[in-house]
Amino acid sequence: MLRLYYAPRTRAVRVRWLLEELGLPHELIRTEFKAPDRGFSQSTPVGKIPVLEDGEVVMGESGAILEYVLERYGEGRLAPSIGDPDRAEYLQWLHWAEGTGYPPMTVAIFHTRYAGDADQRGDLLDVWRVRSREAFRFAEERIKGRTWIVGEDFTAADIMLGFTLLVGQVFGGLDDDFPGLQAYIQRLVSRPAFQRATVD
């Protein structure tokens, strides 16, 4: 049985969402999220959330976990296969979500939610908000005229990106200047698997 260290509204949602899309039985190890401090202090094997356990395998990194689950249990679903013309773009967006889309928001999240000194960090937060919106502008251009971020079908890249965009609505300045992304977010959150994956 797959076991997922899980806390609501964390990147663990991505993993749970994938497991729900694939209909894979799993156990949630509900973990209370602790406000970040100077260490990685979450109650999981790597000190961060999420972590997946699959027998001897214990791994962190939401994007890597999605790739692992698809390789091991996906049976060709939710990803273009190796050699498919869409494969390169799929990999780009799968990693863009955590590697480029998310990082500009971490400054705002830290100072707004945890350090509580956002009002003294105006200049810094302004710079990172601009960079965050720049990242979302790139995704907005891409989603225009498309239903999903890669190819014709929903893939794990939509799961990775979807979580980043939901955080973007709160911390990244993803507002009504991004109508394509807003409509895309609506398509994502109306998926039954997303709704099952976000039941607290």
Shortest distance, position 4 Cβ to ligand GSH, whole Å: 12
Nearer to ligand GSH, 110 or 180 (CB): 110
Shortest distance, position 15 Cβ to ligand GSH, whole Å: 9
Interface contacts to ligand GSH, rule CB under 6 A: 10-11, 36, 40-42, 48-50, 60-63, 98
Strands 26-30, 51-54: parallel, antiparallel or unpaired by DSSP? unpaired
CA dist 27 and 138 (Å) reads: 36
Nearer to ligand GSH, 36 or 180 (CB): 36
Shortest distance, position 163 Cβ to ligand GSH, whole Å: 9
Q: DSSP per residue over 1-39, as a string? A: -EEEEE-TTSTHHHHHHHHHHHT--EEEEE-------SS
Shortest distance, position 114 Cβ to ligand GSH, whole Å: 9
Nearer to ligand GSH, 9 or 72 (CB): 9
13 contact partners, CB below 8 Å, separation of at least 6: 163, 197, 198
Shortest distance, position 51 Cβ to ligand GSH, whole Å: 9
The pair of structure tokens assigned to 93 is 């967006």
CA dist 154 and 7 (Å) reads: 25
Nearer to ligand GSH, 50 or 168 (CB): 50
- Residue 175: Cβ within 10 Å count: 13
C-beta of residue 51 within 8 angstroms of C-beta of residue 40: no
Nearer to ligand GSH, 117 or 126 (CB): 117
